[in-house]
Structure 1
C-alpha cells in the first residue's frame, strides 16, 4: 500500500498508494491503478489505486457516519479550529517534502511549490481555524411578540473535486471552510497529480480528525468523479476545473438538487493604459501569464495595450520573458518555468499555437516545443501579435504559456475587448489615474479585478467568477456561506 520514492533533489519518502477512507489507506475494490508520470522526464513515478463507484460508496458512507458521530458533530467550533491549526502545523513541518512531491508529480518549480503554494496552504488552514468559532447566526428584531434567530449548520457530506494545476492549494481552499463549518468530506484528486495530497492524508489522521471526516480518493473523473457528483448521500459538490467539465458536473448534480460551487475557466484581460507605469505593467503581465507554466484559471492571457505605447510595451515584455522565463529542471533554483503537467496538456498547447498561426496571428516570441535534453513536456513561452477577436487564441482558454497582445485606442474599446468573452474570472488594469482605474473596474465583467498587479490572490479575499467562469466564491469569509445552511427559528412570545 506504499512505496519508497526518491526525488531528483535527493529527498526520499514513503508514498501511500491507497485510497484514504476512514483514516486508513485501502486498495480499490477491483485493484485498478493509475500510473502517475514525472512531466520533466516523462518517466513513471509510481502507480496509485483508482477508485471505482463501489469505492466512492464506501467513502461517502464513511463521511455520512462521521457526520452523525458525536466525536465530530458535537465538537465546538473552538475544537474544530484547534484541529485545523494542528493540521497547519504538521504541513508546515513537512512542507519541504510536500513541495518536493508536488514538483515531482506536477512539474512546477520547487521554489514556487514551497514558497508560494505551501505557504498559502498553511495560511488557508490557519485562517479558517480562526473562523471556526466565529461563524455566527443572528437575532432578528421581529417585534415584541416574536423572538427570532438564525443558526448556521453544516450542510453535511461534501464531495470536493480538485484540479491538477494546484493540487495542495485547491485542496486547502475546499477543505478549510468545509471543516471549519463542521462538514465531512470526500475529496476526489486529479488523477494526474495525486501524490502530494495522499501523503498529506497521513497528516490529517495525525492531526486528530476522527475517522471518516476527511476521505481522499484518486480516480478518473468519468468514473469516480461522476459517481461522487451523482451520489444521493452527498449533500454538496465543490468543483474546480474546466468550464466544459463544470457544466457536466452541474447537470449530474441536478438529479439530486445538490448545493453546487463551481470555479471554472477563464480568459482574463489585462488592460494597460498609456499613462501606466510601464515597467510595473511589464513585470505583472509576465507573472500573470507565464507563472505556473500558464496553467492558471485566472491567467491574464489577453494583454490589451493602448496604441501609443504598444510597441514600447511589446519590446520590454519580450525582453522580460526572455530574461525571466528560464525553462528547465524544476528543482534548479534558476528555473522559472517547468514542463506542462502531462503530454495531453503539452499537445493541447501546441495545437493552439498552430491554430494561431493558421488564423493569421504573428508569433513574436516562442511558439515551439522546448525539450530539455530531449525529454519533458516543455513549451517555450509564446507571445502572439496581430491577433483578431474572432481567433481561437483570443477566445478560448489555452492553459499554457501563451499570450495575445492586442492594441486599443480608447477606454471604451478596451472595455469592449475585455468583456468580449464568455468567461468572467479575473482581470487587471494598469494606470496611474485611480479615478479611471475604479471606473473601468466597475465596467469589467469579472469576479475579480486587480489594479496595477495581476494574479496576486490572497486567502483573505474572495475568489470566483461570473458568466461561464463559475458559481459561488472560495476564500475569505464568503467561502463559509458555501458550506453552511442557515436555519431560522421562530419563537412565539405572545400570550
Structure 2
C-alpha cells in the first residue's frame, strides 16, 4: 500500500440516526485534520431533539425487532456479517480513521480496523454463550437466574483510537441484546459513521444503533440524562468521567462503567532479559500514537546499576522516530490531535522543568505542514511531586526514576491517582509475580508491553483510572443484568414430585 492524498477521500457527514445520515439541529462543528489543520467538513451538532429521536427510535426498534428477547444466534449472525463488511472496506475505513485522528494509516490498516472486525466477530460468538443458572433449592421451589439486556446503552468513546475503542463498547452491547447510542469524540467521528452504515448493510435493524456527532457538554450530556438510556459506558479523562457519573446518578441512578486516565510505570530490573528489546518496548510505550494512549508507559523506573546505559538506549530510539502526517506510510510519530492538546503538553513539560526536572532529550514542540507535533521527550531528576510525574500528559513524555532494591521499585511504581497498567521486566519469576501483585493496577504485563491483538483478557483500571472492564467476557457481561426468578411449587406438584 502507498500513502494517500487526503483531499481525495469522500467523507460521511451528519449524525447517523434511524439508519440514515441526518444533519444535526445544533451549532456548527468543524472537523479538522490534525496532520495539517485543514477543515475536512462542517457538521452540525446533534441537538437535544436529535438525541431524543435517536434514543426513542433505538428503544422502539429493540422492542419491535425483539432484538433482546429473540434468538440470540440471530444477533451473532448479524455481527459476524458486519465483521466481513468491515474487512471488505478496511482500506477506506483506515483512511477515514487517519484523516481526522492521530492514527497513522499503517497502524489503522494493520491493527485498528482488523481488530474492529474481530471484536464484532468475537462478541457475535458470545451472543448465545452466557447462559443463566438454576440454583440448588429444596424440592418445593425452583430458583432461576436469568440475564437480560439493560435496554438502551449509551457508549461515549474517545478520540485517540476512535474506531477500535468505540467497537469495544458497541459490539458487546449489541451482542448482549441492547440498542446502542454511540457518542464518539467530536474530533474523530468519521470511521464509526461509516461502520454504522455497514451495520445496516449487514442486517442490523435500522434505528437499533445510532451515532451522534456533537460535543460532550451538549450532545453527550443530553444523552446521559435521557430517561430511556439505561446504562452508560465511557472512555476518556478522569474529570469528564466524574461529570458523567454525576449526571447519570442524578438522572435515573444509571449504572456506569469508566475507563479513565493512566500514568503507567515501566519497571526495568537489571536482570531484565535482552535490554535492547526492552529499550524498544519502552520507547514504543511512550511514543506510539505520540503518547496519546491511555496506557502509555510514561514512567520509566529503572534499576540504578543499568540506568545510565539503558536510558541512553531509549533516547537513541526516540531520536529515530519519523514525524509526519497520518496519511504517509512511513510516519511513526503522528501529530498531536489539536493545538489545545499541544498547548497542554507544552505547559506540563515546562512545569516539570520549573519543578527541577532535567530534560535529557526532546522537550520541543514544533509545527510541520500545519500539524502540531511534540518531540519525544525524556525527563530525569524528577521528585515525586513533580507535575510531569504526577499528571497524565497524554503526549510523548517519559519521566525517569531510578531504584536500588525491589521495595523501592514498588514504592515508585505506585501512583497516588492512577492504576491502569504497568510493565515489569525481569528474568526472576518470583520478582515478577510479587511485583505484579504489589502494583495496584488493572493490567500488568511481564516482559512485554501493550495488548497486541488480545481480545480475551479484560481491560480496565483501579483507583481513578476507572472501574468496569472492556474486552473479554467481562466486557460482554457488563451489558447484561441478572434477574432472580423464584418459583414456589403448589401442593399437588410437590406430591407428584
Counterparts of 1:330-369 in structure 2, within 5 Å, are 330-369=326-365
Which of 100, 110, 119 does residue 114 from structure 2 map onto?
119
- Spell out, residue by residue over 1:184-218, the C-alpha distance to the aligned partner (whole angstroms, 9 max, x if none): 01110101111111122211111111122101100
Cα drift, residue 370 of structure 1 = 3.0
In structure 1, the residue matched to 2:271 is 275
Counterparts of 1:91-106 in structure 2, within 5 Å, are 91-106=86-101
In structure 2, the residue matched to 1:318 is 315
Counterparts of 1:40-439 in structure 2, within 5 Å, are 40-255=35-250, 256-277=252-273, 278-323=275-320, 325-373=321-369, 375-439=370-434
Cα drift, residue 423 of structure 1 = 0.7
Aligned partners of 2:104 and 2:242: how far apart in 1? 31
- Spell out, residue by residue over 1:98-155, the C-alpha distance to the aligned partner (whole angstroms, 9 max, x if none): 1111111113211111111112111111100111111211111113222221111011
- Spell out, residue by residue over 1:437-495, the C-alpha distance to the aligned partner (whole angstroms, 9 max, x if none): 01110010000000011122521110000110111001000112210011111122362
Aligned partners of 2:224 and 2:359: how far apart in 1? 42
Which of 446, 450, 470 does residue 451 from structure 1 map onto?
446
Please tell me the root mean square deviation across aligned C-alpha atoms, in Å: 1.4
Cα drift, residue 392 of structure 1 = 0.5
- Spell out, residue by residue over 1:348-390, the C-alpha distance to the aligned partner (whole angstroms, 9 max, x if none): 11111111111111111111013224x2111111111111111
Cα drift, residue 74 of structure 1 = 4.2
Matched position secondary structure for 1:341: coil
Cα drift, residue 70 of structure 1 = 3.1
Matched position secondary structure for 2:185: coil
Which of 7, 16, 38 does residue 12 from structure 2 map onto?
16
Cα drift, residue 279 of structure 1 = 1.6
Aligned partners of 1:162 and 1:310: how far apart in 2? 38
Matched position secondary structure for 2:267: strand
Q: Does 1:491 pair with 2:491?
A: no
**Which piece of structure 1 moves more, 68-77 or 350-359?**
68-77
- Spell out, residue by residue over 1:160-198, the C-alpha distance to the aligned partner (whole angstroms, 9 max, x if none): 111100110111100111011100011101011111111
**Which piece of structure 1 moves more, 201-210 or 300-309?**
201-210
Aligned partners of 1:494 and 1:436: how far apart in 2? 60
Aligned partners of 1:10 and 1:473: how far apart in 2? 36
In structure 2, the residue matched to 1:475 is 471
Preserved contact between residue 36 and residue 325 of structure 2 (Cα < 8 Å): no
Preserved contact between residue 270 and residue 429 of structure 1 (Cα < 8 Å): yes
Aligned partners of 2:260 and 2:75: how far apart in 1? 29
Aligned partners of 2:417 and 2:112: how far apart in 1? 29
Preserved contact between residue 289 and residue 403 of structure 1 (Cα < 8 Å): yes
In structure 2, the residue matched to 1:29 is 25
Preserved contact between residue 280 and residue 452 of structure 1 (Cα < 8 Å): no
Number of residues paired by the alignment? 486
In structure 2, the residue matched to 1:4 is none
Normalised by the length of structure 1, the TM-score is: 0.96
Matched position secondary structure for 2:122: helix
- Spell out, residue by residue over 1:39-69, the C-alpha distance to the aligned partner (whole angstroms, 9 max, x if none): 1111111112211112111111111111211
Cα drift, residue 14 of structure 1 = 3.5
Unaligned runs of 5+ in 2: 492-497
Preserved contact between residue 4 and residue 328 of structure 2 (Cα < 8 Å): no
Aligned partners of 1:297 and 1:347: how far apart in 2? 19
Matched position secondary structure for 1:158: strand
Aligned partners of 1:368 and 1:482: how far apart in 2? 43
**Which piece of structure 1 moves more, 201-210 or 233-242?**
201-210
- Spell out, residue by residue over 1:392-429, the C-alpha distance to the aligned partner (whole angstroms, 9 max, x if none): 11001000011101101111111111113211111110
Unaligned runs of 5+ in 1: 1-6
Aligned partners of 1:176 and 1:230: how far apart in 2? 23
Cα drift, residue 16 of structure 1 = 2.3
Normalised by the length of structure 2, the TM-score is: 0.95
Aligned partners of 2:69 and 2:131: how far apart in 1? 17
